[in-house]
Amino acid sequence: MTIIDELLEKAENAVNGKDKFLMRANYSSHPSNYFSNTFGRAVIFINSIQDKPIPIQICIGSTAGWQYLVIFQDNRICVHEGKQNSGRCYWVLFDFTPAWHSVYSVTSLFEIDPLTIVFVFLELFTTITNIITSQMDQSCERATNLITAIKPYIHYVVLPVGLYAANRFFRFLIPGPHHRSKLDLRDRAVLITGASSGLGRELAICFYRRGAKVILTARSIDKLKELCEELKSLPGVINSNEPVYKYLDITDPNGVVELVSFAINQRIDVLINNAGLSMRGSCKDTPMDVHRQVMEVNYFGHVAITKALLDYIPEDGAIVYISSVQGRIAVPYRSSYSSSKHAAEAFFDCLRTEERFKTQILVVSATYLNTGFGRRALTTEGKPMDMDDLNQANGLTPSYAAECIINALINRNTELILAPLSHRFAIFLRWFCPTLFFYIMYRRGLKVKTSLIRSGKFQFCNSRGYIKINQSKLRRDIEQLRKNITRVTSNRSSVAGDEVNDFLRNNAYLLGGYGAGFLLGYTFA
């Protein structure tokens, strides 16, 4: 039986209702092989065979989704590319997919002569083949042009892409907490230190929104009570877990003991070491008691709490330490703070390799956050600065930082650098070119020193000890001197009265310090 005879038989079966398809094509028997020898005999158009118009649409291609619609209009074949089947079923002359179709209306085909159907099929197949070939040629040409355009830059991309791929491959091979499933926070007990304000407060809100049972600790009980009431009244939040608050001073050993007693009766799945204390001052001028005070909060306190609760945290739980970018790079006039963060990061790195390799220990190196943390920073006298930090005022919002930290926790990450590109580059530069990094930090230190002198908040050392320049006191002294001079000149012919002489004699060292300070500031400016 020839191909034409086979097609005629299929056409007769279709007319008699025995077969729904004129021709079924599949990937193992492609029509191009079927009709490669018959194109020469198929050069007969339908308008030369059929005299009357054929009001029917025939689907060429898949019957689902995007396809070619072949419409018979004015006795001619019109091929429309990219039409979409809007749910109506058409007679399928040729299907590019091997899926079987069961229900189609074929009533209007009864009027078509079987031989006409054969030539229609051959003509349509030729048209569709040309369309597909043209599209493939255009796609190949676009791909060739794209490859030609990017070819000069490929060698610049190969190295970083290869390094990234190697990193991901070795990460897949190496065991660790990153192989665990994502952390589900619902009904997980999360203990947060320093939860009364700033980032700790935002973390408590974000954890509670995700269904966790939050255990809030801080020194301010009133703020913790307000936060618990706020959590209960959050709109659109369904959390059956009651928030719990507890007084905790992480520098108090008795508070750590009470926390252990609390952990015996209350499961703790996630520990968030968030409490912290900042400090502003030079290495030389900062007393040792201030260094110890900062270390007690930022290092010893978190070490004590983590050690005490380590046995009560399950292996599939997590420990988070909120560090700083200054735990990776040292910044001028932040010696105590940077030292404490460096020490704490080293402790948690050691803990990760000693005791809990399969437990997630996340260290967050955060940049400046707009939380008012700088106002509570200690001066060299051990008192709060009570002054806004411009860098922190322009820093990240605590809500954004909290979301990033929780996402890293859920994804089982072990490190998170929450910082802009410039700070990330500084971390890289510290490792890649330390000499250049330290010079940049030196220049930054000069700017900080100059700004402190201009603001009247800088302490410098002379032969008699430490003299603090204070603009307000300077203004009062100058105003008093002006009044004395005015009073003397109104009564005496000489301006060098006894009061002026006494003032100059009693405040010689102070005035010398003022002059030296302004000269120093003018020099650096």
Catalytic residues: 337
Buried b (16+ CB within 10 A) or exposed e, 475-514: eebeeebeebbeebeeeeeeeebeeeeebeeeeeeeeebb
> Alpha carbon of 352 to those of 178, 214, 318, 457: distances in Å?
13, 24, 11, 42
| 8 A C-beta contact, residue 516 and residue 467 | no
Label the pairing between strands 270-273 and 244-247.
unpaired
Instruction: For residue 152, give both structure tokens.
Output: 């000069």
Residue type, 166: A
Q: Tell me, what DSSP letter sits at residue 331?
A: -
Estimate the crossing angle of helix 198-209 against helix 398-410, to 10 degrees: 50
> Alpha carbon of 454 to those of 3, 202, 383, 518, 524: distances in Å?
98, 36, 21, 8, 10
Q: Which residues contact 236 (CB under 8 A, 6 or more apart)?
A: none
Phi/psi class of residue 471: alpha, beta or left (left: φ > 0; alpha: ψ in -120 to 50)? Answer: alpha
| 8 A C-beta contact, residue 331 and residue 441 | yes
